[in-house]
């Protein structure tokens, strides 16, 4: 973990701000301090100790986030909790699968199963029938005691806003990975050429998701989406939001959400749907590694964001 960009940035900022800097657990725990005042602050993973533990736990829980946002009349994607059968004291006698099945029926089985506290697009399964739901449920329950289920929502655009005390430090669109046909190259070559700057893991994931079409030659100019997910860690790329009116709408919604959940520093993911803007999820851990790698000025932008947080921590 010592190679994380966050580690490098905080080391630089500590020198510039005159802070004592110590790193432990191969960069996973960082201790920052002002010896003259006796004030010390910590960074665990990508989470800063600026917010209360309760607020951080709430936003890391997709179901808790959805419940509290709904109570505050803030539009969001519904998430429902289902527990592993081994948590038997809290599971009804008929078990979790029947309840999950009944829930999925409402949406014609077009649902998304995900880990309750997951991030980076990991452990997420889009399902279209009962068999796929069973398979996803089994996979998730092999690794987790709980899972969240939401109806599949057609996303017209997904945006991330990095918020600090009600102010937005960065907004961007997450553009899903795609290729454009040239009438000559098979799909696997188009993927290899366009995503050569991405990690091998991301390229392999895109290849796997499109394994049935790898030898297909797309016609000249044909636009082909490679994934249904919008995560930068899955091949999506950040794009500036050019529409000022949209940016203002996104900001107002993110401000309402962070205020309702009493979270000071967080990234807010907002989706555009046919029914309007909705909160998808909120993350207290500020992971910017992929953004830094994909954007020319990403390192400096991330550094300014983390600098603003340090100034709050030691205000």
Mean pLDDT (the chain) is 92
Per-residue model confidence as pLDDT tens digits over 67-80: 999 999 999 999 99
Average pLDDT over residues 103-123: 88
- Residue 88 clears pLDDT 90, i.e. is over it: no
**The pLDDT of residue 234:** 83
- Give me 109's structure tokens: 């089985």
Identify the weakest region by mean pLDDT among 30-34, 149-153, 205-209.
205-209
The residue whose two tokens read 């890391």 is 60
What is the Cα–Cα distance from 301 to 122, expressed in whole angstroms? 26
Total-model pTM: 0.91
The HSE-up count of residue 200 (CA atoms within 13 Å, CB side) is 0
Average pLDDT over residues 110-121: 86
What is the Cα–Cα distance from 86 to 284, expressed in whole angstroms? 29
State how far the alpha carbon of 55 is from the alpha carbons of 151, 170, 307, in Å. Answer: 25, 21, 22
């Amino acid at each position: 973990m010592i190679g994380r960009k966050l580690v490098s940035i905080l080391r630089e900022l500590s020198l510039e701000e005159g802070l004592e800097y110590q790193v432990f657990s191969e960069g996973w725990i960082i201790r920052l301090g002002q010896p003259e005042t006796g004030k010390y602050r910590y960074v665990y993973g990508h989470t800063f100790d600026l917010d209360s533990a309760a607020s951080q736990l709430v936003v890391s829980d997709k179901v808790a986030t959805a419940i509290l946002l709904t109570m505050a009349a803030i539009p969001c994607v519904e998430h429902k909790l289902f527990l592993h059968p081994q948590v038997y004291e809290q599971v009804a006698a008929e078990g979790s699968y029947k309840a999950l099945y009944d829930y999925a029926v409402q949406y014609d089985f077009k649902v998304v199963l995900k880990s309750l506290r997951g991030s980076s697009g990991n452990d997420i399964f889009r399902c279209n029938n009962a068999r796929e739901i069973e398979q996803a449920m089994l996979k998730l329950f092999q690794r987790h005691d709980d899972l969240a289920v939401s109806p599949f929502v057609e996303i017209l655009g997904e945006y991330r806003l990095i918020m600090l005390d009600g102010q937005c430090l960065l907004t961007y669109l997450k553009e899903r990975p795609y290729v454009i046909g040239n009438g000559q190259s098979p799909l696997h070559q188009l993927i290899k050429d366009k995503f050569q700057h991405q990690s091998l893991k991301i390229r392999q994931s895109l290849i796997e998701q499109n394994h049935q079409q790898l030898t297909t030659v797309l016609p000249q100019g044909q636009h082909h989406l490679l994934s249904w997910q919008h995560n930068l860690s899955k091949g999506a790329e950040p794009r500036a939001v050019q529409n000022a009116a949209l940016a203002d709408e996104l900001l107002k919604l993110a401000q309402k959400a962070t205020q309702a959940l009493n979270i000071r520093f967080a990234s807010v993911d907002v989706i555009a749907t046919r029914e309007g803007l909705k909160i998808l999820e909120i993350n207290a851990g500020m992971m910017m590694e992929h953004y830094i790698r994909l954007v020319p000025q990403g390192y400096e932008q991330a550094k300014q964001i983390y600098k603003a947080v340090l100034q709050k921590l030691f205000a």
